[in-house]
Amino acid sequence: MSELFYLNKYLKRYKWHLILGFIFIICSNYFGVYMPKIIDDAADQLTLFLNSESKENNDLWSIGLHLVGLYMLFSLLKGIFLFCTRQTIIVMSRHIEYDFKNDIFLKYQQLNLSFYKQNRTGDLMNRISEDVSKVRMYLGPAIMYTLNVVVLFVMVITFMIYKNAELTFFVLLPLPILSFIIYKVSAIINKKSEITQKKQSRITSFVQEMFSGIRVLKAYNRSRYFAKQYDQETEDYKRASLSLALVNALFLPSIILLIGLSTIFTIYLGGLKSIHQELDYGDIVQFIFYINMLTWPFASVGWVSSLVQRAAASQKRINEFLLKEEKVINDGKNNLIKLEKIAFKQVNFNYQTKSDFNLCHLEFEINSGQSLGIFGSTGSGKSTVANLITRLYEIDNGHFVINGTDVKEFELDSFRKLIGYVPQDVFLFSDTIYNNIAFGLNENDVDLKDVKHAAKLAGIYDEICRFEKSFDTKIGERGVTLSGGQKQRIAIARALIRKPQLLILDDCLSAVDTDTSSKIQQQLSSVYPDQISIQISHRVSQLSHCNHIIVLDNGQIVQQGKHADLITQEGYYQSIYNKQQLDEVNDY
């Protein structure tokens, strides 16, 4: 429960909605509770009329009209205030839901990359959608029904005790039992519906995965196997749904049974009292009304408590990351305008997960206008170095120095503005080619000329022009499918449109043929002579033009120097160079 305290700040923000809602609840209940009293009056006046001697029809009409009019007026007032209650409290819950979702989204954007590596995407999406909507059920319906039941209970009990305390006691006896049963049944229903939901989402992810892997599935001829698995999943779902339907079906009849029990009590005990002249008929009718009036709110106590429980569980999941104190990347004050030199000095780093990968004693230095090549076997730590340079991760110890000053002295944003980074697993949005390239800059700073220029530099311009809608071509799920090499070059264009002073290409020409990739590299060095570039590759030919090359193995620099020197030194670089030379000759 204490998890829900986090939401108090939102309740405070919308306190006027809550206070007004409470006042409306009091008003609507007042009119509601007064209505049986009108019936009681009607019964009393009718008895009086029947016992009177004149028995004029006009009298009966005037009594009837007066009471019916009053009853209708009170019903109307009750309805209006009920409407106002929902308009304040439920609306408040929607406002809070909106604020809360935005806050969670903001937090998501602040969290470090390592957080995303540790959590599954589906899980993160669930928290912002499903969990928040469960929390909203607490903020809206749960709070509203709780206030309602308290107000109604106080009012009705006062009225009933005023009429007859003993009868009140007996007829209220089944209500706590009712509440308890409903609480228990709701818990079972919740559990079962959660299981059903889980099975449902298993089916969804199963189908989703099948769609994404459809090429593999068809190529390996496994359709029948998948169909059988799907059958099993849906069978599980059907069983869970049927068992939920059974409990649901038992729910309503058991409530009706308990209400009936209270009504029988009232009639029986009320009848006895009426014989002894302690009560009249009107009072009994009024009591029956009250019982019915109390039943549903009481029934809702069980339901509400299960709502609160679910909300608390959801809030706990949300709090897990909302209250998480991330190792925030230090953000300095100095504005960085020009990159002249970047250097790593004795840098150590590990991912702080279970992986035993360590980057040790990393040292290099690059001046403006120079390029650094990073080479090494798979898993040797090349992309990790790129992550550290872009400050997606923070180094553990050692120094990361820019223009002779520690990088932490500079504002992170101003540093990132100077970087063009193309990650190894390129990602394009389901949007137009234009927007994907223009993403590299703010919307206002970009025009078609820049986009075209960047595309030309990345060697993709001609291919884009060949598409029917050229730069307005949609890519992704509902658009054209690009080849691996096209995707890579669009991602490069996105980095280049920033006119970056530091360009990091993480193995992002791997799907581009050797000729095209060397053409792109030549263009880049002539257009941006001052640029610092860091090139990561598995292909020796792509690094041959670099001013300096480091060779990594298991997180350590094992060789370094110029291409010409490295190919003469015995080692990993040379052996791969020889192999790749041979491959190229064979290709011819």
Token look-up 């609480």 returns: 183
Q: 554 touches which of ligand ATP, Mg ion, none (CB within 5 to 8 A by kind)?
A: none
In Å, how far from its chain's centre is CA 392?
A: 22
**Residue closer to Mg ion (CB basis): 136 or 382:** 382
**Residue closer to ligand ATP (CB basis): 182 or 551:** 551
Position 383 contacts Mg ion (CB under 5 A) = yes
Position 554 contacts Mg ion (CB under 5 A) = no
Q: Which strand ranges, in their side-by-side order, compose the sheet holding 556-561?
A: 419-422, 502-506, 532-536, 371-376, 548-553, 556-561
Position 382 contacts ligand ATP (CB under 6 A) = yes
Least distance to Mg ion, CB of residue 549, Å: 16
Both tokens assigned to 207: 């189908």
**Residue closer to ligand ATP (CB basis): 131 or 507:** 507
Position 117 contacts ligand ATP (CB under 6 A) = yes
Least distance to ligand ATP, CB of residue 523, Å: 25
Q: Given candidates 102, 208, 353, 581, which one binds ligand ATP under the rule CB under 6 A?
A: 353
Position 424 contacts Mg ion (CB under 5 A) = yes
Site string for ligand ATP, 473-512 (x = CB under 6 A): ----------------------------------x-----
Least distance to Mg ion, CB of residue 360, Å: 18
Q: Which of these ranges, 81-89, 206-214, 243-251, 421-429, lies near Mg ion under the rule CB under 5 A?
A: 421-429
Least distance to ligand ATP, CB of residue 505, Å: 13
**Residue closer to ligand ATP (CB basis): 317 or 538:** 538
Residue 474 bridge partners (DSSP): 432
Q: 380 touches which of Mg ion, ligand ATP, none (CB within 5 to 8 A by kind)?
A: ligand ATP
**Residue closer to ligand ATP (CB basis): 197 or 358:** 358
How far apart CA 136 and CA 95 sit, in angstroms, is 10
**521 Cβ contact list (under 8 Å, min separation 6):** 535, 542, 545
Whether residue 573 contacts residue 540, with contact meaning beta carbons closer than 8 Å, is answered with yes
Residue nearest to Mg ion (CB): 383
| SS3 of 402-426 | ECCEEHHHECHHHHHCCEEEECCCC
List the alpha helices (DSSP H) in 323-427. Answer: 382-389, 412-416
Site string for ligand ATP, 419-448 (x = CB under 6 A): -----x------------------------
Whether residue 497 contacts residue 450, with contact meaning beta carbons closer than 8 Å, is answered with yes
**Dihedral (C-alpha) 105, 111, 117, 122: value to the nearest 10 degrees?**
-10
Q: How many CB atoms lie within 10 A of CB 289?
A: 19
**Residue closer to Mg ion (CB basis): 383 or 547:** 383
Element (H, E) at 349: strand 341-350
Whether residue 415 contacts residue 336, with contact meaning beta carbons closer than 8 Å, is answered with yes
| Contacts to Mg ion by CB under 5 A | 382-383, 424
